Amino acid sequence: QVQLVESGGGLVQTGGSLRLSCAASGLIVSNYAMGWFRQAPGKEREFVARISRGGDSVYIANSVNGRFTISGDNSKNTVFLQMNSLKPEDTAVYYCAAAKFYGSDTWSRYDYWGQGTQVTVSS
């Protein structure tokens, strides 16, 4: 049974940093394309970042480029989202997702999802 468990969310002030973790079980993250998405109240789920199978390539959404980075630790079977210089508009529930073959900016292309972790940035 595949499980993706996000952690690391919380309340932070504008300009602060958080590091989200996505711990996987039932799959090997290096064999999947892994992505981070977010969803704010009343808004569509939005692509944030993704890393290719094997970790050779990363893709970052324009809205967070230069502030967020995605990485993986195969020894921990975990994917991370480092978020710096946070802004109030980054407030959302952040989700980790896994795609069996190719990653995408489109959430529907992913096969497995975590339950999400709340990130709140105060102004």
Determine the longest span between alpha carbons in the chain, in angstroms: 40
Residues 36, 70 contacting (CB under 8 angstroms):
yes
Share of the chain above pLDDT 70, in %: 100
pLDDT tens for residues 63-84? 999 999 999 999 999 999 999 9
Tens digits of residue pLDDT in 28-66: 999 999 999 999 999 999 999 999 998 899 999 999 999
Taking 3-state DSSP, the helix, strand and coil percentages for the chain, each rounded to the nearest 5, stand at 10, 50, 40
The tokens of 27 are what? 């799959």
Summarize the confidence of residues 13-32 as an average pLDDT: 97
pLDDT per residue as tens digits for the range 92-111: 999 999 999 888 899 999 99
